[in-house]
Amino acid sequence: MRALPQMVKIESRLFLRDSATVLFGVLFPTALLLGMGAVPALRESTPDTGGLRSIDIWAPTALVFGMVMIAVQHIPAVIATYRERGILRRLSTTPAPPGSILLAQMIVAFASVVASAALLIISAWAVLGIAPPERPLEFVAAFIVGYAALLGIGLVSAAVARTSSAATQIGTLLFVALMFFGGAFLPRVVMPDMLRAVGEFIPPGLQALTTAWSVEAGEITATNGGLPFWLQIAAMAGIAIVTTAIAAKLFRWE
Amino acid sequence: MDAIEVRNLHKRYGKHVAVDEVSFTVEEGEIFGIIGPNGAGKTTTVESIAGLRTPDSGSISVLGFNPVKDRAEVRERLGVQLQESSFPDAIKVSEALELYSSFYQNPADWRELMDLLGLTEKRHTRYKALSGGQKQRLSIALALVGTPKIAILDELTTGLDPQARRDTWSLIERVRDAGVTIILVTHFMDEAERLSDRIAVIDGGRVAAVDTPAGLIARSSASQQVRFRLRQPLDKSILTDLPDVTSVDMSDGRWTVTGNGQFLTSVAGALARAQVVAEDLRVDQRNLDDAFVALTGRAPDSSIPFERKVD
């Protein structure tokens, strides 16, 4: 079983050499949040938001950006490339377990998402004075389960995309759709109720992340009659399981 | 024990029969060539041996193991260099070797292998930046890094310039001399003729012949030709009366003698006895191309262009 640690080591290096992904997946979310934080209007607290600044409420969107980037853009593109170029095929002629390269990919990608989130949370705290997640356990749960749901969608894309360019195109569409509900174009706080309600079921689950980060912000972005926190997490877990099962069913090695 | 035994292999993709009926055995320590026209079933055959395809019927034994059922045992002992397979662009030569050596129980020392294949200078170079020949050498190194008993090399020198091809050939001979059994799939007749101890000609999903290169050539060529000039006159019957000579033509002092078997020796002897000197002597050497045409009724495919090395 020396194969997996070696694969993780090499895949990590390959990840770090892929400067576009490091830039957009790991560094850009923090840059985006700090950039938004530099806008004076977003740093003013208003009475309608109970003293919270717009940036406090919007911060989880920057976090979602990195998660979506890695799960639906990066991973499917890498897997589709590995398939298209015969890298998976070549590996399958060695004694290494066939799934180990995918597992190594997931491990490296997850580490990068965690790094992206850690950088974002620390910078938000240090530079913008946004407090770290108030409910750390819930936050970790929302983050992991939400990421798993995103990853499931990414894996379906990786399973069906025949070429790396197809994977990239699917990834871009998914990115736009997911980031819409992730509040990148229209902050969740100003979304109509119906969109907010739908958004609770769209990975990675912005509402759950927002609530776990700041209870006050969560109350502002929540809908009347929205799902309780743990039901939102359960919905994400369900999406993760179903999409991963579909991906496993559809996955082709060649 | 035979290194590989293929019995009545049959494989179809949908309605298309890729391999109809293929049987052969590969002996331990030999270079076994597989030649045939494009689409003849060569690649499907070796992919089945490597366990990448499951035969529809027939059996394959690799050192006594079944490639599908005994996946781990076969993969541990069989090194593969495949057509249309590659490595991540950003991986460095040393990383690819170290990674692949970690897959095997008794890997070769990858640094030694890197040295043997002349890649040490390039160890920090990314795969994408390697030349065609260097990529091919890396691919061979990775096929050998698990110290396999058998190596399958599919279209080893396609895309290489002539010098790189020759270097690769001598490398393959060294690998064989180290005791590795080699299956060489190629559409280059010169390569098969030069390297193979025995060759299987596969055509239309069937084995047309299995023999040594010389055996295949001898089988296929009923007649050979020798051409020369004579300054002195010679009575034509001296040559036509020779056994094994089938025809003699003479025009403008240029002689063309066609025959078979040992006719070359008898022609040379007859000329010597007649005390005439043959000048500008040419024997049209029969080669594997002729054998290929005779066995398959087609010219070997030579349409795959060379990729010139750009420095």
Q: What is the DSSP string of B113-129?
A: HHHHTT-GGGTTSBGGG
Residue type for B109, please? D
For B102, the closest of A3, A85, A93 (CB atoms) is: A3
Report d(CA A108, CA A8) in Å as an integer: 7
Residues of chain B with CATH 3.40.50.300: 4-218
Residue type for A11, please? E
Going across the sheet that includes B278-284, the strands are B245-251, B254-259, B224-230, B278-284
Report d(CA B51, CA B44) in Å as an integer: 10
Q: Is the pLDDT of residue A203 over 90?
A: yes
Taking the domain B4-218, which CATH number applies?
Answer: 3.40.50.300
- Confidence band, pLDDT 50/70/90 cuts, at residue B311: very low
- Indicate the SS3 state at residue B70: coil
Q: Which residue, among B43, B46, B71, B102, would best test binding to A if mutated, counting the most A CBs under 10 Å from its CB?
A: B102
- Confidence band, pLDDT 50/70/90 cuts, at residue A65: very high
Average pLDDT over residues B280-309: 69
- Confidence band, pLDDT 50/70/90 cuts, at residue B221: low
Residues of B in contact with A85 (CB under 8 A): 85-88
Q: Is the pLDDT of residue A113 over 80?
A: yes
CB–CB contact B75 A17 (8 Å): no
Q: What angle do CA A70, A74, A75 make, to 5 degrees?
A: 90
Q: Which residue of B has its CA nearest to A1?
A: B103
pLDDT of residue B309: 36
Residues of B in contact with A104 (CB under 8 A): none
Report d(CA B227, CA B16) in Å as an integer: 47
pLDDT of residue A146: 96
pLDDT of residue B212: 93
Q: In whole numbers, what is the pLDDT of chain B averaged over residues?
A: 88
pLDDT of residue B63: 96
Q: Which two tokens stand for residue B23?
A: 């049987």
Backbone angles phi, psi at B205, to 5 degrees: 80, 10
Which residue has 């057509």 as its token pair? Answer: B83
pLDDT of residue B250: 86
pLDDT of residue B306: 39
Q: Which residue of A has its CA nearest to B144?
A: A94
Average pLDDT over residues A132-150: 96
- Confidence band, pLDDT 50/70/90 cuts, at residue A120: very high
Residues of B in contact with A90 (CB under 8 A): 80, 82, 85-87, 142
Q: Is the pLDDT of residue A44 over 90?
A: no
pLDDT of residue B308: 37
pLDDT of residue A208: 94
Going across the sheet that includes B4-13, the strands are B57-62, B4-13, B16-26, B206-211, B198-203, B31-35, B181-185, B150-154, B78-81
Q: Which two tokens stand for residue B17?
A: 């029969």
Percent of chain A with pLDDT over 90: 74
Paired sense of beta strands B224-230 and B278-284, if any: antiparallel
CATH C-level class of B223-285:
alpha beta
Q: In this structure, are residues B85 and B157 in contact, taking their beta carbons and an 8 Å threshold?
A: no
How large is the ipTM? 0.89
Q: In this structure, are residues A216 and A52 in contact, taking their beta carbons and an 8 Å threshold?
A: yes
* Widest distance between CA atoms in chain B: 74
H or E stretch covering B226: strand B224-230
Q: Is the pLDDT of residue A188 over 50?
A: yes
Q: What is the DSSP string of B73-109?
A: HHHHHEEEE-TT----TT-BHHHHHHHHHTTSSS---
- Confidence band, pLDDT 50/70/90 cuts, at residue B105: very high
